[in-house]
């Protein structure tokens, strides 16, 4: 039985591109592959009817649809509403023409539009997750685009690999209107990728899809982080969960514009925060673990925590799972030390002496 997918699109002052992002979701062919009783002759895309996404696959241009054009597009798509794809756009306090761009899609029932005060992309995604109803969750950044086969490609992967909790696809990179090749360090990997993910983010929000229960296991995006919130979640994920790669380009990742969060400086500061946080959680659990192993009454403690065998007594004790293996902990400490040392030097060059001292001491403490 085909399952419902909730697509969450956070946006802030992206009136220049949000229309294209929404259309790329409305053009998904998932309904055709999911419903055998639907005629294959029925056209669920805008091809041949209006100028839409094809020019974006090789180059990107910032287009501003007029309202009449958007009304026409929304009207054409109304009869092809996909009951298996729920589109939730979360407007994170936009002050531009975002609402005007989205209005035709909302009025035709093509999207659910949620609004909030400007709280950041993490809060926007989290709101979308909580308001969604799909068995699967997918994200699309409002400056990126999906190819028509994106959802069907990943759902096929989930069907063939029912134990999979999360996967992502390959992507095409566009920078300032020109296609570029990602650097080797950005190469996407598949499976257990924790140690490689410590250095930089290897999972794209626009390329990822997960089962709904993923968030019960791994939690939500950290709303205290103004950037690298995706790095933070994928790092938590990859400690003990494989992130699989569908080795097929399914998204167009647009970059080079001024309002990109990933283009901001000092991103390593937030990566340092995430690694430090993970190590602190791990240390707290490790200390609790060691205390419980020494306590005869451990079996009556932490009843909600998973059971493991205490081999020294051959009894079952309720003790918390250790997040990191010894190798993972060593790798995290090593990368944290490297990033703190480099970031501290950068602070000194910019005259931020107090900040430089903090990160230098943190590097020395964690060495």
Question: Which is more confidently placed, 282 or 336?
Answer: 336
To the nearest 10 degrees (0 to 180), the angle between helices 353-366 and 326-349 is 160
Residue 264 has pLDDT above 70, yes or no: no
Structure tokens at 184: 């080797």
Structure tokens at 207: 């390329």
Distance of alpha carbon 231 from alpha carbon 261, whole angstroms: 13
Place of tokens 């589109």: 87
Distance of alpha carbon 208 from alpha carbon 125, whole angstroms: 13
| Rounded mean pLDDT, 86-96 | 97
Question: Which is more confidently placed, 276 or 80?
Answer: 276
Q: Which of 105-119, 144-158, 245-259, 282-296 has the lowest mean pLDDT?
A: 282-296
309 φ/ψ angles, rounded to the nearest 5 degrees: -90, 130
Q: How far is CA 237 from CA 25, 108, 242, 271, 278, in A?
A: 26, 37, 8, 15, 11
Q: How far is CA 114 from CA 13, 92, 132, 229, in A?
A: 14, 9, 11, 21
Q: Which of 191-200, 255-264, 349-358 has the lowest mean pLDDT?
A: 255-264
Structure tokens at 114: 């949620």
| pLDDT value for 367 | 58
For the chain, strand residue ranges (E) read: 5-11, 85-91, 112-115, 136-139, 145-146, 166-175, 178-180, 208-211, 244-255, 307-310, 315-318
Could you give the domains of the chain?
5-260 (3.90.550.10), 269-366 (no CATH)
DSSP letter assigned to residue 309: E
Confidence of residue 259 (pLDDT cuts 50, 70, 90): low
Q: Which stretch of DSSP H or E encloses residue 208?
A: strand 208-211
Distance of alpha carbon 213 from alpha carbon 173, whole angstroms: 30
For 79-184, strand residue ranges (E) read: 85-91, 112-115, 136-139, 145-146, 166-175, 178-180
Distance of alpha carbon 215 from alpha carbon 30, whole angstroms: 23
| pLDDT value for 294 | 54
Report whether 7 contacts 130 (CB < 8 A). no
Confidence of residue 80 (pLDDT cuts 50, 70, 90): confident
Place of tokens 């100028």: 51
- Over residues 171-219, the pLDDT tens digits come to 999 988 888 888 888 889 999 999 999 999 999 999 999 999 999 999 9
Q: Which of 40-49, 58-67, 317-326 has the lowest mean pLDDT?
A: 40-49
| pLDDT value for 319 | 34
For residue 208, how far is the Cα from the chain centroid? 6
Structure tokens at 105: 């899609």
Q: Which of 141-145, 175-179, 207-211, 256-260 has the lowest mean pLDDT?
A: 256-260
| pLDDT value for 176 | 83
- Over residues 305-328, the pLDDT tens digits come to 233 333 333 333 333 345 799 999
Length of the chain: 367
Distance of alpha carbon 169 from alpha carbon 233, whole angstroms: 17
Report whether 189 contacts 202 (CB < 8 A). yes
| pLDDT value for 178 | 86
**Strand partners of residue 44:** none
Q: How far is CA 362 from CA 195, 200, 261, 355, in A?
A: 20, 20, 26, 11
Report whether 61 contacts 145 (CB < 8 A). no
**Strand partners of residue 6:** 86, 137
Residue 71 has pLDDT above 50, yes or no: yes
pTM: 0.82
């Amino acid at each position: 039985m085909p399952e419902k997918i909730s697509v969450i699109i956070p946006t802030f002052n992206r009136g220049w591109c949000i229309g294209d992002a929404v259309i790329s979701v409305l053009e998904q062919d998932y309904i055709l592959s999911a419903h055998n009783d639907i005629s294959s002759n029925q056209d669920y895309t805008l091809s041949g009817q209006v100028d839409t996404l094809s020019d974006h696959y090789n180059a990107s241009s910032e287009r501003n649809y007029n309202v009449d054009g958007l009304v026409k597009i929304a009207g054409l798509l109304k009869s092809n509403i996909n009951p298996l794809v729920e589109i939730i756009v979360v407007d994170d306090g936009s002050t531009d023409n975002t609402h005007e761009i989205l209005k035709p899609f909302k009025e035709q029932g093509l999207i659910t539009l949620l609004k909030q005060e400007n709280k950041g992309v993490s809060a926007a995604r989290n709101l979308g997750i909580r308001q969604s109803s799909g068995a699967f969750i997918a994200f699309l950044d409002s400056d990126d685009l999906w190819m028509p086969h994106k959802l069907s490609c990943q759902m096929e992967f989930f069907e063939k690999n029912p134990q999979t909790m999360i996967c992502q696809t390959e992507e095409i990179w566009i920078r300032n209107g020109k296609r570029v090749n990602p650097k080797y360090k950005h190469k996407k990997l598949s499976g257990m990728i924790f140690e490689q993910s410590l250095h930089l983010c290897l999972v794209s929000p626009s390329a990822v899809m997960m089962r709904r229960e993923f968030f019960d296991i791994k939690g939500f995006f950290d709303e205290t982080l103004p950037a690298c919130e995706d790095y933070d979640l994928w790092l938590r994920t990859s400690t003990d969960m494989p992130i699989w790669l569908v080795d097929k380009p399914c998204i167009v990742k647009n970059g080079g514009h001024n309002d990109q969060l990933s283009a901001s400086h000092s991103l390593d500061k937030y990566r340092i925060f995430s690694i430090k946080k993970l190590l602190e959680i791990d240390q707290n659990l490790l200390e609790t673990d060691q205390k419980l192993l020494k306590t005869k009454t451990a079996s009556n403690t932490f009843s909600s925590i998973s059971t493991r065998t205490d081999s020294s007594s051959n009894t079952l004790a309720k003790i918390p799972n250790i997040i990191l293996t010894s190798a993972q902990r060593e790798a995290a400490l090593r990368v944290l030390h490297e990033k703190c040392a480099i970031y501290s030097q950068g602070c000194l060059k910019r005259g931020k002496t107090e900040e430089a001292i903090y990160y230098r001491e943190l590097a020395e403490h964690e060495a």
